[in-house]
Chain A
Amino acid sequence: MTNNQTYILSFIVENKPGVLYQISNMFRRRSFNIESLTVGPTENEDFARMTITVKGNENTIEQLTKQTNKLMDVIKVTILDKKNTVMREIALIKIFTADSKTRSEVIQYVDVFRGHIVDVSLDSLIVEMTGDSNKINAFIDLSRPFGIKELARTGITALTRGRRVIKK
């Protein structure tokens, strides 16, 4: 089986030190590469939500979720159904703008992508782009010819659509 499908895993964990280490250590130990990871407290401060994207196949991901579920500080692991999930990522992109013509061109693109300009200097500006990874990738590709000076991406965070919630 190939290992090329991307999975998005949502972890509800105890919000305390050392938990990230336990989880990332389990990924390392079972030979999984974390593609992206976001973490922050949930609506209940006792818990944190980690959203981890990882490549694998059905069997390996099942094994990974079972192994991580065994950790005492992991309350619940869910493999998110991408069709039924809101996924968002933020990218900050510092784009080189040599002259006012390129600057206005970039601003136009940002507008089309519904991003924001969050910082402007003489020869560059910082774009904040929010969306799913495809949209961000598309914008990055578009910006490349201008020259990307720096790029920071948060990785995906996600919630299941509708009334369903992950029980804690």
Chain B
Amino acid sequence: MVKMTGAKAIVEALKRQKVKHIFGIPGGATLDLYDVLYSSGLRIILARHEQGAAHMADGYARISGVPGVCTATSGPGGTNLVTGIATAYMDSSPIIALTGQVNSQAVNSSYVIGRDAFQEADIIGITTPITKHNFQVKKACDIPSVLKEAFYIASTGRPGPVVIDLPKNTQKESAEMDFSSPIKIRGYNPTYNPHPVQVRRAVELLCKAERPIMLAGGGVISSNASHEAVKLAESILMPVTTTLMGKGVIPENHSLALGLLGMHGSIEANKLIHEADVLLNVGARFSDRTTGTLDDFCPDAKIIHIDIDTAEIGKNFKVDLPIVADAKSALKEISKQVTQKMIRKETSVWFDRIQQFKEQYKDLLIKEGGLKPPKLMVELRKLVPNNTIVSTGVGQNQMWAALYFKAIEPRTFITSGGLGTMGFGLPAALGAKVARPDVPVINIDGDGSFRMTEQELATSLLEDIPVIVIILNNSMLGMVAQWQRLFYGRRYASSELKDSPDFVKLAEAYGVNGIRVGSVKEFIKAVKKGLSNDVTTVIDVPISPEEDVWPMVPAGAGLRDVIWTSKEKKRG
């Protein structure tokens, strides 16, 4: 037991969790916390909007694998975090959001919770559906245990965001603090180890399979199981397709890598998964963007589903063999038994078919001439080392990056997959760079997405967090425009952004580098310059507003109906 103020206890608890960085913006209800942070030795990164702070913490968490911490004041500070918290929730990213709150007990007759005080918002009520759990601290002395539990909840089982609401008086008050009390959460006990019977059944299915496919999701990344996934795939020559969240599980230049599955997945993955006789889904949740219409999804396959979250089993799709477990332990065990049971496959008809498919569609959509996003992504891959981290905005830019920038290592590609939050790219890149200052971080963005959090360029400059921003600038809300072009008779309702503003001047106004490129050659030069710059570089790449993302599975269609030109859509 040691006596200190609540604010000091928060910082002490953060240090005990080995937190080194906090992203946030101070305000009236967090003055006490910030006053302690000021001389705490922790690095406080001042964001320019709380949404940015939450995405930074999220980017940090996705890269480092440990919870990212963000903070905001009461009321609008907290509500501005909401989009970032929801983003982390949908992608199972562990962040801790510390929010200030008005006094919970009257101090000098000032207003208290529940009386609509200045900058009061019910952040607990607001964030309940978008957090794994949330806490409101009632007494200062609860702070050590609340923080301990929050980090434990955020980072174990299926990770997710946790909000801690801190009434101003609990930060100010002094109390006897006990940092050594054990964690006790009676209603929470995640299952890590797979059931041996289920594992044995999975092994039997996989060993008998003639055309197995693995679908790897974000769960494989968060349990650091990429190595195990690839090992299993190699031993039975099982191709691996990934969800957007699973990108990087298998090096995308691997002979077994099929690329992305789903609405904007690769032709190979979408067509071949239809032929599978066993589908091993590891840590993916059969989301609508991944499966296409469920009536036509893997009709002939036995489905094995490994997920740490029981509620994901059977939520979207009925499976034949559920395994509730951590991806790493499950894959390890399955792999071990598969190797005991059969000799490593060196070749198979299925493997040959996959290679033939890959060869057939290789480079099909990577057109030369002009500034075509697929080509730019391929060039970018050649320019940067394998450990380079890429973040994206949402929309066409995201799909181009996901399809054509091949991720080679896990935790090198971060994107808002579930919620689809425009504006994720730049702040997430900054968070990533803080987590990995030693590697280049590139935000591949669109002009629409970028503008939603562009003010974080100021954060990047003043906090000395240099990244590269590539704006695939079609002067449109590109994905909206693509749908309007394809399905709404080219009626561009509110989707034209019309070259506004000038991104080079904008970058310069923020004190960072701005470069506009007009050719692939200039693009390469600009990226090289960006890599050697010690401040952020914004590369504005004007592309045609008519550019579409291909391939595409039209809404309501099955994956095998993937199309890759607009002519085909008209034919169909």
**Which residue numbers of A lie inside 8 Å of B, CB to CB?**
13-14, 18, 21-22, 25-26, 29, 59, 62-63, 66-67, 69-76, 168
Contact = CB atoms under 8 A, between A and B. Distances in A.
Closest 4 interchain pairs by CB? A66-B311, A72-B133, A75-B187, A72-B188
A70 to B, nearest CB: 6
Contacts of B37: none
Nearest to A25: B128
A14 B184 CA distance: 12
Nearest to A22: B128
Contacts, number: 41
B186 A29 contact: no
B310 A66 contact: yes
A59 B314 CA distance: 8
Nearest to B185: A72
A75 B187 CA distance: 4
A25 B311 contact: no
A25 B125 CA distance: 9
B104 to A, nearest CB: 12
B186 A70 contact: no
B125 A21 contact: yes
A28 to B, nearest CB: 9
Nearest to A26: B129
Contacts of A18: 124, 136
B314 A62 contact: yes
Interface in B141-176: 153
A18 B133 CA distance: 12
A73 B314 contact: no
A123 to B, nearest CB: 42
A44 to B, nearest CB: 11
Interface string B186-201: 1110000000000000
A15 B484 CA distance: 52
B315 A63 contact: yes
B540 interface: no
23 contacts: A14-B187, A18-B124, A18-B136, A21-B125, A22-B128, A25-B128, A25-B129, A26-B129, A29-B129, A59-B314, A66-B310, A66-B311, A66-B313, A66-B315, A67-B311, A69-B310, A70-B309, A70-B310, A70-B311, A72-B133, A72-B185, A72-B188, A75-B186
Contacts of A74: 187
Contacts of A59: 314
Given A25-B129, A66-B310, A73 B187 contact: yes
B381 to A, nearest CB: 39
A29 B145 CA distance: 30
A112 B129 CA distance: 48
Contact of A63 (B128, B132, B133, B311): B311
A93 B22 CA distance: 59
A72 B132 CA distance: 8
Interface string B36-57: 0000000000000000000000
A78 B199 CA distance: 27
Contacts of B314: 59, 62-63
B153 A72 contact: yes
A26 B136 CA distance: 19
A71 B187 contact: yes
Contacts of B311: 63, 66-67, 69-70
Contacts of A69: 310-311
Nearest to B310: A66
Contacts of A75: 186-187
Given A63-B311, A66-B310, A168 B186 contact: yes
Nearest to A65: B311
Given A14-B187, A72-B185, 4 more contacts: A21-B128, A29-B129, A72-B188, A75-B186
Contacts of B310: 66, 69-70
